[in-house]
Amino acid sequence: MNAPIQKKGMSVPKTMKAWVLDGPERLRLTEKPVPEPGPAEVLVRVDAVAICGTDVEILTKGLPAMIGGGLPFNKNFTPGHEYMGTVARLGAGVDEWRVGDRVAVEVHAGCGRCERCRMGMYTSCLNYGLNYGESSKGHRANGFTTDGGFAEYAVNQVNTLIHVPEGMSDEEATLIVTAGTATYGLDVLGGLIAGESLVVTGPGPIGLMSVAVAKALGAQPVILTGTRDARLSLGKRLGADYVVNIRKEDPVEAVRRITGGKGVHYVMECSGADNALNEALDMVNRGGRICLAAFPGERVPVDLAKLVRNNIYVYGIRGEGKSAVHRAAALMAQKRFEAKLMHTHTFGLEDLPTAFKYFRERIEDAIKVVVKVHGPKNP
Ligand SMILES: [Zn+2]
Ligand SMILES: [Zn+2]
């Protein structure tokens, strides 16, 4: 449980511990001023932050994080985007939130001015990247274009905050945004109707969450494919009706076998494998839909004739738009799936490099590795 919270104003220090990215693979723990929330912003005391595959990319290559229009190295930049915490201070004009509220945070705050933002597609904001160095104007993505959560405090735009359901641990709450990405993918596919069939390819965090969310929404059957038995059995615990180890059985044949030759309505592609889209084309039925939540590093050949002839729709998603995170949080509040099964390890803020090592090398089957910044740890 959380420590009691002083509701009327929380004491906030002037400086805080924060990790900054000096160069590739060079994270350094330092002391920074605690940021001040501006209009429509709150200061979040970071309680827990999960490590994501994208954090590893930022650590090694810099991109997709960009600070001041360039690589994020040696700019006193703090990465980390899958965090949750407690509202510690309110900026001018904020009456939607109170000090002491427990919140999870979305990565993207859209500019709120462009066509896409007005459609709810704020993760595809047309002003992305136009606000470097001037966060009050335009889109920002915490842990990508502005400071993130590998620190004791972070500033967030009010639109990026989600209430953490009562009784949910800090560690589990860091997974709300991942569930939101899965929910957004299913939204983009047209919204899942109970009884529709789905294949999820790739049992990483987004794939596993896609299984859980789809099952919670009534998908039937849900088939998960992957290479690691431990991940696949976790997929079963999260609701998959069938799992297919593609080292043992051809995934397209397996899907055909399970569906009696019909194929499925939808594929959520979460593996990023070179041939994944071609396989997905063979898994969906005519008129079916495919959502790409992962992608290969290089250009890959695709059987476009098959796509056109079979009237197959393909979508790409970026992050989690259309308030999908709120819907994901609602499913988690109703305990429709056990997201916490994906949380495997917890470390302290000082141990961030060890936490990264566990995540990257999948030590002890690590999936979601959480760094606990404030408050007691939950197993
Ligand atoms: Zn992430
Ligand atoms: Zn915008």
Please give the Cα distance from 215 to 140 (Å, whole number): 32
Mean of per-residue pLDDT scores for the chain: 94
Distance CA 346, CA 330 (A): 25
Q: Which ligand is nearest to the CA of 293?
A: 1
Question: Does the structure show a pLDDT above 60 at 320?
Answer: yes
Please give the Cα distance from 57 to 25 (Å, whole number).
Answer: 10
Q: How far is the CA of 218 from the centre of ligand 1 (A)?
A: 26
Query: Measured in angstroms, how far is the CA atom of residue 270 from the centroid of ligand 1?
Result: 13
Centre of ligand 1 to C-alpha 295, Å, is: 15
pLDDT one-digit tens code per residue, 182-206: 999 999 999 999 999 999 999 999 9
Count Cβ atoms below 10 Å from residue 150 Cβ, excluding itself. 29
Ligand nearest to the CA of 51: 1
User: Is 137's pLDDT higher than 70?
Assistant: no
Residue 6: left if φ>0, alpha if ψ -120 to 50, beta else—which one? beta
Q: How far does the centroid of ligand 2 lie from the alpha carbon of residue 165, in Å?
A: 28
Give the pLDDT score at 379. Answer: 60
- Give tens-digit pLDDT for 260-293: 999 999 999 999 999 999 999 999 999 999 999 9
pTM here is: 0.93
Taking the C-alpha atoms of residue 328 and residue 180, their distance in angstroms, rounded to an integer, is 5
- The conformation of residue 164, written as its DSSP 8-state character, comes to P
CA distance 17 to 15: 7
Report how far residue 37's alpha carbon sits from residue 274's, in angstroms, rounded to the nearest whole number: 43
- Mention every residue, 6+ apart, whose C-beta is less than 8 A from residue 308: none
149 CA distance to ligand 1 middle (Å):
12
pLDDT score of 6 more than 60: no
Sheet holding 284-292, edge to edge: 242-245, 222-226, 198-201, 264-269, 284-292, 313-316
Give the distance (Å) from ligand 1 centre to CA of residue 106. Answer: 10
Query: Which residue has tokens 């088939």?
Result: 223
Written as one string, the DSSP assignment of 318-371 is -S--TTHHHHHHHHHHTTSS-GGGGEEEEEEGGGHHHHHHHHHHTGGG--EEEE
Q: Give the per-residue pLDDT at 134.
A: 60
Cα angle: 206, vertex 320, 295; to 5 degrees: 50
- Separation of alpha carbons 360 and 264, rounded Å: 33
Q: How many angstroms separate the CA atoms of 210 and 337, rounded?
A: 11
Q: How far is the CA of 119 from the centre of ligand 2 (A)?
A: 9
Mean pLDDT, residues 114-122 taken together: 93
